[in-house]
Amino acid sequence: MKQVIVIGGGASGIMAAIASAQGGAVTTLLEAGPKPGRKLLLTGNGRCNLTNLDPQITSVYASSNWDEAQLMIRSVLEQFPVKDTIAFFEKAGLLTAVEHGSYVYPVTGQSASVLDVLLRVMQSLDIKVKYHEEVIAIEKNEASEEESARWNVRTKTWTYHADCVILSCGSRAVPSTGSNGNGYELSRMLGLDVTDVLPGLTAVSCAFLQPDTKAYIPGAGRKNSPAGNAESQASQDPLSAASGTRTTALVKVYADGKAIASEKGQVQFTLNDLSGVVVFNLSRSVVRALHAGCEVMLSLDLLPDLPLSRLEKLIRSLLERFQGITTRKLLAGLVPSRLIPAVIAWHEQSGMSLAEALKDFRLQAIRLRRFDSAQVCVGGVKVTELDPDTLECLSEDLKGIYLTGELIDVDGPCGGYNLQWAWSSGYTAGTHAAKE
C-alpha cells in the first residue's frame, strides 16, 4: 500500500493527512511540536474564521507569480471549494454560522472545536500521528530500486520511508506556534526556489509626514508623551495624541507616488502603528513595496462617505454660521477628538485646504511589525515549482514531493481566506499523493 508522510500538523497538514488516508494511503503525520494545530487555535481571536462565502474568492489572493498562482488557486479551490469545506466539517459534526454576510465560524465560537473535530476524523482514519518529530532532512532513498519508499524522511531520532511526502510546515508567522520558517529550509535543501519571505497581515508602523522639509518625524518616543493632553503632544509628534483612536477611513497605498491598493473600513491608531483589519489587508501591498525599495505613503480619507465638494461647502457654512470658531472646534463634529491635532498639523504643513487635509491625510509607512505579530507571510516556495493541479513538485527529481498551505507563495486577506487555502491545498495534495 502507498505510504504517505505529511510533515506538519497545522491546518493544511491535517487536511492533507485526512485526504491521503481517505484516498487509501497509509498515512503518517510528523509534527515538530508537542501538539497539533497550535496556530489554528489562535485563529479568529480564538473563534476560527474558517472560510468565507465570497463568490470572488479566487481573486483575493496574492503571489509573486500572479499568473501561475491564479491557475493554481482556481484549480485547487475547484477541487475543494468553500461549500465542500463547510460540508466536510458538518459531516464531521461541526456546525458553522455566517457573520457579516460571508465570514464562516464554528457555531461554538471556539477554534478548539475545529481542531477537536479534525483530530476525531484523523483518529477514525487510523492516521499515525507522531509528536516531537521535527523533520531535518528529506532525501532520496537510493537503496530502493522500486518506485515504492523512494523518500527517506529524517528526524533527529528516526528515519521514515515514504512513497510520497507532503510538506505542510507553514510559514514564519508567529514562530512560537511551530511554523518557524524551517519549511523554507527543507524546501531549499530539496532545490526548490523560495522567494524572500516577509510578514503580512499585520500593523504598519507610520511616521507623520512633513511635506515642506521632506523629512519625517518617526513615531519613536511617543511612549513618553503624557496621556490625555492632545494639544501639547501634537507639538512634539502629531500622531501621539491620536493613539487609541478608531475611525472609519478609505485608506489608499501609494508606492513612489503610484496608487497600488485601497480599502475602506475601520482603522486604529496605536502608539507606533496604524492597525485594524483594513490596514492588515493593505499591509500585504505595503510590505511588497517597501521591500522593493519604494517610498510608501498611506493616504487616509477620514470622511469617505462625503464628497470633497460637499465637505468644502459644509466647512464654509460652519465658518459663516459660527464666526471666529477655531479649527479645533470646527473639527469637533467631523473627526474623533484625539485625531484633531494631527489633522490640524497636516492641514498647516501640507498647505491643503481643511477639507482636502481631511480627505487626504497622509502618513509615511516605515515598516511592518515583525513575524511574531504577523498573521501570515508574504512569499514562500514559488508557485512555478509546483504542478498547479496536484501541488506536486514539477522537477523529475522531486516526484512524490507535495507542498501545501502557507509554505507556498500564496497569501490571502483577513476573513477566512488563508484557512480556506490551507484546507483546499491540503485536500488537493493529500488526494493526489494517495492516488499517484
Q: Which helix (H) or strand (E) holds 108?
A: none
Q: Does 284 bind ligand FAD (CB under 6 A)?
A: no
By the rule CB under 6 A, 179 interacts with ligand FAD: yes
Scanning 7-15, 86-94, 248-256, 278-286 for contacts with ligand FAD by CB under 6 A, the matching segment is: 7-15
Number of residues interacting with ligand FAD: please give it, by CB under 6 A. Answer: 41
In this complex, which beta carbon is closest to ligand FAD, that of residue 341 or of residue 400?
A: 400
Establish if 422 lies at the interface with ligand FAD (CB under 6 A): yes
365 vs 389: CA distance, rounded Å: 38
Residue showing cell 493613539: 243
What is the contact mask toward ligand FAD in residues 29 to 68, using x (rule: CB under 6 A)?
Answer: -xxxx----xxx-xxx---xx-------------------
Residue 95 identity (one-letter amino acid): L
Of positions 6, 11, 302, 342, contacts ligand FAD by CB under 6 A: 11
- 128-130 and 26-30 beta bridge pairing: parallel
Residue from 182, 240, 275, 285 touching ligand FAD (CB under 6 A): that is 182
Name 30's Cβ contacts closer than 8 Å, sequence gap at least 6.
5, 6, 7, 8, 9, 130, 133, 135, 153, 155, 160
Please name every residue paired with 106 in a beta bridge, in sequence order, or none if there are none: 96
The residue whose Cβ lies closest to ligand FAD is 10
Name the burial class of residue 133, with classes exposed (0-12), middle (13-18) and buried (19+) by CB atoms within 10 angstroms of its CB: buried
Residues 230 and 342: their CA atoms lie apart, in Å, by 9
Q: Tell me which stretch binds ligand FAD (CB under 6 A): 167-175, 192-200, 211-219, 249-257.
A: 167-175
Q: Based on CB atoms, which residue is closest to ligand FAD, 172 or 347? A: 172
Residue 48: closest CA among 38, 40, 37, 60: 40
Contact between 413 and ligand FAD by CB under 6 A: the answer reads no
What's the CA angle centered on 103, arms 100 and 104, to 5 degrees? 130
Q: Which of 3, 172, 178, 345 binds ligand FAD (CB under 6 A)?
A: 178
Q: CB nearer to ligand FAD: give 10 or 219.
A: 10
Sole binder of ligand FAD in the list 276, 341, 405, 413 (CB under 6 A): 405
Strands (E), 284-360: 296-301
Rounded distance between C-alpha atoms, residue 167 and residue 171, angstroms:
11
Contact code string over 361-400 relative to ligand FAD, x by CB under 6 A: --------------xx------------------------
Burial of 44 (0-12, 13-18, 19+ CB in 10 A): buried
Instruction: Name the site residues for ligand FAD (rule: CB under 6 A).
Output: 7-13, 30-33, 38-40, 42-44, 48-49, 134-135, 168-170, 173-174, 177-179, 182-183, 375-376, 405-407, 416-419, 422
